[in-house]
Structure 1
């Protein structure tokens, strides 16, 4: 970007997080390609994590320079929005020498994201600001103004301290910036569970709960690695319920579209919205359960309430 505007919501913060609004391929490339080239020229590690079609556009426009960029298809790497901060953004940034600025293009919201996925997507965009506060990083987030609904574009103003309007290469401050409000607003109760296998468990029936979940997952069509992922996720979540969620919980398993869905509900209060979305230091004991679930599930939604916590996971059949 040629002339960034001072960021009014934390000018001393080395973290920069603009939203880019674009209407077509030309506008997309007019900002993203110089953004990458300027980073490479400055000796900054650069990653691009965008949907496959846009990834090909950037790769082709960069030519040989693309070999110096970490390229990821966000439709795969970020299918579960809860995986993006720990598995994509922080995984790249944390692998670089301390203090070195990194540049990342991350496009987690595209036309075709479902209404079920969207709350996790917008919470992800809001939580990037907390996850990278104080870090020397620039994360540019493109939004297709021709394809995305108006409420998505409005939310982008609330989750990004600066924006680059369509047709421009200059940042401007967002008066609507309020990431904490977005996290709270989309901490919405999950839709009612349809007819589902239901199993109440406690410390004495943990192994049975896991066996029930795996058996139902297999009956509903999961096999191989996906069934193993379900087994591991349910082991982590049910254990968390017993250890941190009041000693007991309720497990449910059902099908929804092309997915097997599992839910664990308990009376624990999850107060940290970044739980499961930040890497855990290698020397830390525990604290990896929800993170592991985010890394292996196709979608994870969490509802934090006064009466307890619900974690719902989707696995592709």
Structure 2
């Protein structure tokens, strides 16, 4: 999993023949389990605001309040907007409760090529590129699956 191997007790190092970052990425880019009982809301550019309201109403019903409900609203706005701008113009929002957490999921037809998007700081001089980082900072857990059929981002929120 490392590009360079350093030998113990020596200053020597060599490239690792076993280094295969694409295998590591593929190992963790597994489809997320289906959730049959989630509230579902298909959205487009015209219904972005409504998607946010649907998510927060369901989040409140499921026990989120205060800043956590605001966090859900922020994440929903970011993910649904990303779907409209980068994921084919539409998507599906799902919200449900599992094991004491409120989960929010956004699916679209786009492809996320960078497996570390949102997990490392954005380039300073580049405009944009901070939304997924914000999502990762605000949610308790973020899982991503991206493949030929699109991208799914699932976020957990503790009450």
TM-score by length of 1: 0.46
Determine the C-alpha separation between the residues in 2 that align with 1:235 and 1:4.
52
Q: What does the per-residue CA deviation read over 1:118-171, in whole Å, with 9 as the maximum and x for residues that have no partner?
A: xxxxxxxxxxxxxxxxxxxxxxxxxxxxxxxxxxxxxxxxxxx6xxxxxxxxxx
1:7 aligns with 2:17: no
Aligned with 1:212 (options 38, 54, 77): 54
Determine the C-alpha separation between the residues in 2 that align with 1:313 and 1:233.
8
Cα separation, partners in 2 of 1:237 and 1:4, compared to 1, 3 Å: farther
Map 1:195-210 to 2 at 5 A.
Answer: 195-210=37-52
Answer whether contact 1:248 1:266 (CA < 8 A) is retained. Answer: yes
Equivalent position of 1:296 in the other structure: 138
1:4 shift after superposition: 5.3
Aligned with 1:287 (options 124, 129, 135): 129
Gaps of 5+ in 1: 10-160, 162-174
Determine the C-alpha separation between the residues in 2 that align with 1:4 and 1:227.
54
Determine the C-alpha separation between the residues in 1 that align with 2:109 and 2:13.
41
* Number of aligned residues: 152
Q: Which runs of 4+ in 1 moved over 4 A?
A: none
Determine the C-alpha separation between the residues in 2 that align with 1:303 and 1:7.
35
Map 1:129-278 to 2 at 5 A.
Answer: 176-278=18-120
TM-score by length of 2: 0.89
- What is the DSSP-based 3-state SS (H/G/I as helix, E as strand, rest coil) of the residue aligned with 1:183? helix
Equivalent position of 1:310 in the other structure: 152
Q: What does the per-residue CA deviation read over 1:49-76, in whole Å, with 9 as the maximum and x for residues that have no partner?
A: xxxxxxxxxxxxxxxxxxxxxxxxxxxx
Q: What does the per-residue CA deviation read over 1:2-33, in whole Å, with 9 as the maximum and x for residues that have no partner?
A: 83563322xxxxxxxxxxxxxxxxxxxxxxxx
- What is the DSSP-based 3-state SS (H/G/I as helix, E as strand, rest coil) of the residue aligned with 2:69? helix
Gaps of 5+ in 2: 1-7
Determine the C-alpha separation between the residues in 2 that align with 1:8 and 1:179.
17
Determine the C-alpha separation between the residues in 2 that align with 1:193 and 1:238.
19
Map 1:6-45 to 2 at 5 A.
Answer: 6-9=12-15
